[in-house]
Every structure is written in C-alpha cells, then in structure tokens.
C-alpha cells in the first residue's frame, strides 16, 4: 500500500497524485491537475464516498444528484460526493489546480488508480485512458468499483463480471501486482528510470544475434546511450550472406575489414576488400555487400552516420527474427511487428532494382499492417512481458493473410497485364 509521499503520474492527462495518508477507514491524496485537463468520465461509486477540497486554483466539479450541480471549488472550499451520485471533475481554468480528496472507506481505490496510471504509461490504454485489452479493462472495472452512467448497473456488472471471470481463467492477474503495489514500476522515480530505459535501445558492449541469418553484432558505440549521431558495431557475417543493392539518401556507411573478405559494389563498381582495408558507402550512392566465401566468416567494424533509426532496426529486427524462429504460432503477430518496425525505422533506405510501383505498394502494405499491429497493441520490442491474447492472434492472422492475398493477387494481375503487353 501507499507510502506517504509516493507520487504517481498519468502521462495522458498530466494528473499527478501524491498519497498523503491512509488507514482502514479512509485515505487522503493530493492531486495536481494541469490547466485545461479533463478528469475521468462521469461515474458513481456504491462502496465509498469522495470528498474534494481545493487547495490552490479552482476545481470544476460536476455532480448529478437529482438535478445537475456544477460547482467551482476555490481554495479552501470542499464538496462531498455521497454514494450513488454520478460525478466527474476537470480543470477548465488556465492555471493548474491542486486539490485533496478523501476516499472513505479506502477499499481498493489505491490499487485501481495505480493500475490505471500504469497501464496508461505502458501505452496499454487508448487516449481516454480506457485499457485497450478487453480482459484488463474488465478486471480494472471490477477493481475500481466505479460504475458508468448511461448503462444499467445489472448489465455492466453482468458483462464485465463475465469478462473478468474469463480474464482470470486466462491467467490475468486481477490484482495487477505489476502496477498496484507501492514501489512497483508505478513510482515516479521508477517511471523516469523506465522512461530512460525505454529510450536507450542498446548498450555499448551488448551482443545481439540473428538466428535466421546467423549474423552477430557487438555494439561499440550507440547513439541512444551516448546521445550522439554515430552507430558503430562489430559485425560477424556468415559465409554467403549478402545485402542487395540499396541506397541511404541521408546516411554514410563505413566498413573496416577485421578478417575475411568483403565484396562491395559501390556506385556500380565491384571489388573485394581484405583485412585492414576500409570501404565507404556514401549517402545517396547505391551499394551492396556480400561475404563471397563459402566457408569463411567475415568480421567487419561498421559505422552508420547519422545513425537515424538503425540502432532500433538492428536490435528489434534481430529480436523479431529470434521470435519468428522459436514462436511459430505467433508468426502473424511477429509479421505485424516487422511492419511496425519498417514503418518506423525503415524509411531511411530503399532497394535498387525493385520497380517503383512495387516498392510503393510494399510501403502502403507495410503502413496498413503497421496500423493494424499498433491497434492490436503490438510493439517492435519482444512481447514476453505481455500475456498471450487469442483474439489478438486471430486478428493478426486475418490481417496478414488478407494483406498477403491482396499483394499476391495484385502482383499476378500486374504480371498478367505485362505478359499481355509483351505478347501483342
């Protein structure tokens, strides 16, 4: 439970809650709500009352008790919200407002607010703060003991109760222990740490492997850690591995050969580079790389400058490759993750030799799949922290299947019309 002084923050609204004190009968919190911030949707409680008291600025409180009651509480003024009375609050002023709220009895209020903020922080809610995952939504509904206006109570309890029952059977944690405890990742200090961790993609010295291609990368210098613009890594490339001819319009690529042979084609000129030699792929100049040997590995030190999205592309791309290899039932989901990754980080290069209409069709497909993936809550990072979700998998299957069929049909039609043109 709360340690007095614990602070949590809602990234969607900027609302910040400090836990003041609690005992079995009641708990007290201090809330800072930014100028213009909306509060929760209209709701009511049956198990506890809430008393609001403005400390600084003015708090807009809307109560629906028989007739609508719109209050603006100024510093020192308070209002009591009894059970069954629908209410919401907001800050319509252009100054932040600070208010205190007493919840009596305290029940599970703290757990539910920590969970609601935690889900929002992890991107697991929509913009209105409603959990995207229906099982988490049902469990949070139960935990919060807050009821919606506009839907009969027996109906909402029936529907959410049933869903929450299924969620428990599926193994979801109804206590949301990840978020609900004091000192869980919901603490503001932890939040900041987590935030930094999210932005640092790789660490210097970190090794990643791609089990599909057999590549292995040791990062030497990463922009996300050093705040720089250079990505430098030691790259083990297996025999026969090649990257087809492509262009980075805004990025220079440099390689130094440590051992083995690198066959490079830069600006149309091909040659082999041996140990100790260096080769540059300038911005906007087509280049291709290959390890021409049948049995000898190639080791090079590579640089990309500016790094743009390549650190993420490598780290998350290798992670997805690993998941594709080990998690066969999750393949449609991992395809959606690839689409999100290419949509986010793959705009900085294009392949030569792919006709422009095909490339454009591919990009359109990637953008559409990436949107579906995001809507379903997929991320490019490894999904091991998320529970599996059958509905999500089913939709992923459908989306990837439909997109694949559409592309196949389109390519066949194109192919057919070409043939007809040539036959004429």
Check whether the bond before 77 is cis (ω within 30° of 0).
no
Q: How far is the CB of 286 from Fe ion (least distance, A)?
A: 9
Q: How far is the CB of 109 from Fe ion (least distance, A)?
A: 9
User: Which of 122-130, 137-145, 253-261, 416-424 is the region at the interface with Fe ion (rule: CB under 5 A)?
Assistant: 253-261
- CB of 194 or CB of 277, closer to Fe ion: 277
- CB of 41 or CB of 214, closer to Fe ion: 41
Q: How many chain residues are in contact with Fe ion, going by CB under 5 A? A: 2
Task: Please list every residue from 30 through 69 that binds Fe ion, using CB under 5 A.
Answer: 50
Longest dimension (CA), the chain: 87
Binding residue (CB under 5 A) for Fe ion from 6, 136, 142, 253: 253
Q: Which residues, 6+ apart, have CB-to-CB distance to 46 below 8 Å?
A: 83, 84, 145, 147
Q: How big is the CA angle at 124 (ends 136 and 317), to the nearest 5 degrees? A: 125
- CB of 50 or CB of 102, closer to Fe ion: 50
Q: Which residues, 6+ apart, have CB-to-CB distance to 383 below 8 Å?
A: 323, 330, 333, 337
Q: How far is the CB of 103 from Fe ion (least distance, A)?
A: 8
Both structure tokens of 143: 């935990």
> x/- contact string, 355-374, with Fe ion (CB under 5 A)?
--------------------
Q: How far is the CB of 46 from Fe ion (least distance, A)?
A: 11
User: Which 8-state DSSP code applies to residue 177?
Assistant: H
Going through 155-228 in order, the beta strands assigned E by DSSP cover: 207-209, 216-221
User: Which of 180-188, 248-256, 364-372, 379-387 is the region at the interface with Fe ion (rule: CB under 5 A)?
Assistant: 248-256
Q: Is 311 in the site for Fe ion (CB under 5 A)?
A: no
User: Which of 14-22, 91-99, 247-255, 379-387 is the region at the interface with Fe ion (rule: CB under 5 A)?
Assistant: 247-255
Q: How far is the CB of 41 from Fe ion (least distance, A)?
A: 10
In terms of phi and psi (left: phi > 0; alpha: psi -120 to 50; beta: otherwise), the region of 151 is beta
The secondary structure of 1-32 as a DSSP string is: -PPTT-EEE-TTT--EEEEEEE-SS-EEEEEE
Taking the C-alpha atoms of residue 130 and residue 111, their distance in angstroms, rounded to an integer, is 16
- CB of 50 or CB of 323, closer to Fe ion: 50
- The CB-nearest residue to Fe ion is 253
Return residues touching Fe ion (CB under 5 A): 50, 253
């Amino acid at each position: 439970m709360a340690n007095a002084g614990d602070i949590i923050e809602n990234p969607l609204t900027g609302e910040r809650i400090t836990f003041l004190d609690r005992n079995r009968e009641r708990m007290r919190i201090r809330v800072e709500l930014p100028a213009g911030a909306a509060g929760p949707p209209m709701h009511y409680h049956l198990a506890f009352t809430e008393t609001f008291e403005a400390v600084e600025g003015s708090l807009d409180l809307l109560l629906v008790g028989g007739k609508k009651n719109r209050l603006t509480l100024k510093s020192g003024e308070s209002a009591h919200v009894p059970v069954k009375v629908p209410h919401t609050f907001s800050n319509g002023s252009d100054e932040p407002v600070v208010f205190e709220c007493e919840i009596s009895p305290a029940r599970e209020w703290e757990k539910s607010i920590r969970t609601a903020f935690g889900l929002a922080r992890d991107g697991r809610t929509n913009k209105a703060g409603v959990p995207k995952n229906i099982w988490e939504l049902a469990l949070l509904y139960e935990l919060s003991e807050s009821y919606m206006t506009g839907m009969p109570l027996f109906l909402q309890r029936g529907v959410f109760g049933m869903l929450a029952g299924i969620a428990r059977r599926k193994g979801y944690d109804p206590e949301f222990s990840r978020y609900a405890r004091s000192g869980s990742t919901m603490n503001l200090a932890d939040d900041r740490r987590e935030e930094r961790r999210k932005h640092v993609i790789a660490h210097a010295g970190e090794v990643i492997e791609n089990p599909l291609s057999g590549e292995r990368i040791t990062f030497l210098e990463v922009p996300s850690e050093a705040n720089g613009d250079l990505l430098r890594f030691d790259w083990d490339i297996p025999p026969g591995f090649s990257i087809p001819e492509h262009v980075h319009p805004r990025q220079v690529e440099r390689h130094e050969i440590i051992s083995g042979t690198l066959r490079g084609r830069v600006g149309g000129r091909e040659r082999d580079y041996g140990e100790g030699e260096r080769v540059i792929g300038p911005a906007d100049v087509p280049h291709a790389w290959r390890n021409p040997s049948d049995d000898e590995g190639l080791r090079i030190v590579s640089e990309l400058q500016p790094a743009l999205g390549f650190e993420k592309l490598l780290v998350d791309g290798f992670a997805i490759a690993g998941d594709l290899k080990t998690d066969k039932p999750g393949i449609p989901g991992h395809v959606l993750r690839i689409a999100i990754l290419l949509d986010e980080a793959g705009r900085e290069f294009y392949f030569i030799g792919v006709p422009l209409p095909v490339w454009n069709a591919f990009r359109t497909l990637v953008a559409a799949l990436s949107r579906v993936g995001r809507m379903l809550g997929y991320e490019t990072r490894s999904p091991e922290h998320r529970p599996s979700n059958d509905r999500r998998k089913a939709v992923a299957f459908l989306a990837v299947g439909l997109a694949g069929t559409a592309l196949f049909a389109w390519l066949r039609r194109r192919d057919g019309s070409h043939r007809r043109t040539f036959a004429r």
